[in-house]
Amino acid sequence: MIHIDDARRLYALHTARTTYAMAVDDAGRLLHLYYGPRTAAARLPQSPHNDPGCHPDLLLQEWPAPGLGDNHAPFFQPEFADGVIAADLRFAGAERSPGKYSLPGLPAFRDGEGAETLRVTLRDELGLTVTLLYGVLPDCDLITRAAIVENTGSAPVTLRGVPSAVLDFARHDLDLITFDGAWAAERTPHRAAVRPGVQGVGSVGGIPTHAHNPFVVLCAPNAGETRGSCWGAALVYSGNYRCQVESAAAGIRLSLGIEPFRFAWTLAPGERFTAPEAAFVYSDAGFGGMSRNFHNAIRRHLVPPRWADPAAPRPVLLNSWEACYFDFDEAKLLALAKAARAAHADLFVLDDGWFKGRDSDTTSLGDWTADRRKLPGGVAGLCRKINALGLDFGIWVEPEAVSPDSDLYRAHPDWALHIPGRPTLEIRHQYTLDFSRADVRENIWQQLCALLDSCPIRYVKWDMNRSLANVYSAALPAARQGEVYHRYVLGVYELQQKLTGRYPDLLLENCAGGGARFDCGMLYYSPQIWTSDNTDALDRQSIQYGTSFCYPPCVMGAHYSTVPNHITGRTASVEARMAAALTGTFGFELDLTAYTGAEIEALHPYVQFYRDHGALLRGGDLYRLAAPDGRGAAWAIAAADGSEAVVFAAGRVLDGRSLPLPFARPGVRYALHAAYTGGHADDAADGDALAALGLPLPDLRGDLPGYLCYIKTEG
């Protein structure tokens, strides 16, 4: 609910459990008042600095502008034609409307029940208007923000930095958590007290990259998994970004937006620029409460509506990558598909290596037609045969990439991002197509349509295996090169929008060399993203644990793979590997042709487990019960009313432990079904005991043992 108090010039956004408030001071400055537990507007504090003489550096502001006394590191940087880099933005009005705003050409959380929008207009008399958009999704305690900057003057204005949102805190004692890593080790949480000065995470690689994620948490020093105040902030964007935290005189300032490095966007009079959306959740129930709100928001209001219903089945797929890499022919693929069918999979995904000449990663990206040596009947011929085995068919593409050794590159060398006169950097032997260009996108669009129209392709894995370099577009003049990074991202969004629009039932999975582009922007187009190339069950615990702070299990691409693991060489039990895969999108990625009939049959109970409990696994509340400590971890996914849950544990966390289940209902008896024994009811327990004393874990031994248990209230 949005509350407007015109007399006090106070604006409050209420969600089910939180309140966000701002007010206009006597000088017309829009000040931040409050973001925390739900509070009646009448009880909100007055602005502590309602004094026009107050030093601007001490103000808590909703949209700070540089050059007029705010001495924080500037994020918003408008440069007027006369060289002035300063803005004096004063409140010019606010209006509330039902429903949540959307942002043309950009991903954003979608409308939902009870959603509302507040538009606040700030005006600089020199010719700049900023419209701040606030979205309220009350059911998940989500507040979203975006901003539209308009040149209302008579000369051009160049924007050299535009935050999506700024959030000021009148305190210095907060911890910052970022999610960092590398290829095969994405999104490990790092927590530290905010230090004086500027810090943060971001990317200049054109994609978020493996190094950091565009999601951060600020929290009280005593906050933990189950208690304490925390503020999560996610940027709904997939390109260069900055999440900047500055501790200065007045407190802590969090700013999120497109990375200002190499960003310059010139607005002619009358033109507007829209900054991508940022989304916030406050929770006083610790990280668990915060994450569950983000999960609900992402599942209900961000992923494509076609895939939003947790009860709508998702296919159990087998992906060919770890089974074949580039080394296959049609016979090998069909044998693999047959084994996938025997394992009760629904869909066969042909990963990299299927297009002409692609026997290694050195060649052919950009030429999206089948290699007839490997697939004599083309993709359509293979698809027919796969379908005849009773499986749907899916395929891998990397539309943004081009190999120097490809027909596409030979015909259009200027279509790759390159700096004239300099050697172009190959990473993984490939260049990146200039997706800021409409003609380049059109070519790839036509190739994708030809592929997808050739046969019933039900799933596409859209990969992106390198960060951008040599960022310069042959199609733009020198003065507009600062637009290229952002136009590139807009181009990717445009193509994914067209793809899912033309093929509405297509299941799109994004991927970037594992999880280098795992963000809320991509989730607007694809309901799942490949989490990491690392499928090792122990490493996956950490990767999926960190990922789960913002993103729900059902969007995490997760596959059961072989042992020893191809990346780590480590061995893990079937249950531990299944636990990791079942708390993601669930699928297989291994050479099942090497399995005996009995070994394949042993996989059936898990596939059945996923089918039986898929709606719960996709739609339930995640509880991180024991954080990964290098030896093991435990977690559960529970129905919102606590009536059923799946509990997972893997590793030495099992040693004589009981796992308290905070969602268990008192006064109710639960049946416990340990799935690894085949799913029979083997025990029962009282909800009170499960909540207080915990679910006793069996004493399992061996290499990374695992445990899966389904519990349900009796009667």
Chain positions 39 to 78 lying near ligand DGJ, rule: CB under 6 A, are: none
Strands, sheet with 78-80, edge to edge from the N-terminal-most edge strand? 78-80, 157-159, 265-267
Helices (H) and strands (E) counted in the chain, each on its own, are 13, 39
Distance CA 400, CA 403 (A): 10
In this structure, are residues 61 and 89 in contact, taking their beta carbons and an 8 Å threshold? no
Sheet of strand 18-24, all strands in order from the earlier edge strand to the far edge: 2-5, 10-14, 18-24, 30-37
Binder among 200, 513, 587, 706 for ligand DGJ (CB under 6 A) = 513
Stretch that binds ligand DGJ, among 130-138, 446-454, 508-516, 682-690 (CB under 6 A): 508-516
Identified binder of ligand DGJ from the candidate list 63, 237, 524, 530, rule CB under 6 A: 530
Q: Are 353 and 333 in contact (CB under 8 A)?
A: no
The residue among 290 and 512 lying less far from ligand DGJ, judged by its C-beta, is: 512
3-state secondary structure of 544: helix
Number of residues near ligand DGJ (by CB under 6 A)? 11
346, 392, 434, 533: the catalytic one is 533
Work out whether 514 is an interface residue with ligand DGJ (CB under 6 A). yes
CA distance 396 to 407: 19
Among the listed residues 116, 150, 277, 352, the single contact to ligand DGJ using CB under 6 A: 352
Assess whether 688 carries a catalytic annotation: no
Question: Which listed residue (168, 346, 351, 463) is catalytic?
Answer: 463
| Interacting positions 231-260 with ligand DGJ (CB under 6 A) | none
Q: What are the distances in angstroms from CA 399 to CA 157, 357, 553? A: 34, 17, 26
At its nearest, how many Å lie between ligand DGJ and the CB of residue 557? 9
- Does 321 contact ligand DGJ by CB under 6 A? yes
Residue nearest to ligand DGJ (CB): 352
d(CA 399, CA 462): 7
Q: Are 72 and 53 in contact (CB under 8 A)?
A: no
Q: Amino acid letter at 31?
A: L
Note whether 368 binds ligand DGJ by CB under 6 A: no
- When asked if residue 590 is in the footprint of ligand DGJ (CB under 6 A), the reply is no
Is residue 276 within 8 A of residue 144, CB to CB? The reply is no
Rounded to the nearest whole angstrom, what is the least distance from the CB of residue 508 to ligand DGJ in the complex? 14
Quick one: 555 or 626, whose CB is closer to ligand DGJ? Answer: 555
Residue 533 annotated as catalytic: yes
Give the nearer residue to ligand DGJ in terms of CB position, either 307 or 530.
Answer: 530
Give, in order, the Cα–Cα distances in Å from 346 to each of 379, 393, 611.
18, 9, 11
CA distance 298 to 603: 31
Residue 231 vs 321, nearer CB to ligand DGJ: 321
In the bound state with ligand DGJ, the residue whose beta carbon lies nearer, of 100 and 577, is 577
Single-letter residue type at 108: A
Q: How many CB atoms lie within 10 A of CB 453?
A: 12
Render 382-426 in DSSP notation, one character per residue. Answer: HHHHHHHTT-EEEEEE-TTEE-SSSHHHHH-GGGB---TTSPPPP
> Closer CB to ligand DGJ, residue 513 or residue 620?
513
Contact 341, 318 (CB under 8 A): no
Contacts of 630 (CB under 8 A, 6+ apart): 538
**Under rule CB under 6 A, which residues in 443-472 are in contact with ligand DGJ?**
463, 465
Question: Rule CB under 6 A: is residue 35 a binding residue for ligand DGJ?
Answer: no
Choose the binding region for ligand DGJ from 76-84, 210-218, 429-437, 510-518 (rule: CB under 6 A): 510-518
Give whichever of 20 and 393 is closer to ligand DGJ, judged by the CB atom: 393
Q: Which is nearer to ligand DGJ, 433 or 647 (CB)?
A: 433
Taking contact as CB under 6 A, which single stretch among the options 261-269, 500-508, 511-519, 624-632 is the one that binds ligand DGJ? 511-519
Helices 484-502, 438-453: crossing angle, 10 deg rounding? 20
Contact 264, 161 (CB under 8 A): no
**178 lines the binding site for ligand DGJ (CB under 6 A):** no
Among 511, 529, 555, 650, contact with ligand DGJ (rule: CB under 6 A)? 511
Pick from 277, 346, 533, 536 the residue near ligand DGJ by CB under 6 A: 533
Q: How far is the CB of 585 from ligand DGJ (least distance, A)?
A: 13
Quick note: the x/- pattern for ligand DGJ over 374-403, rule CB under 6 A, is ----------------------x-------
Single out the segment in contact with ligand DGJ by CB under 6 A; choices: 57-65, 191-199, 366-374, 509-517. 509-517
Q: Which residues are catalytic?
A: 463, 533
Residues that bind ligand DGJ (CB under 6 A): 321, 351-352, 396, 463, 465, 511, 513-514, 530, 533
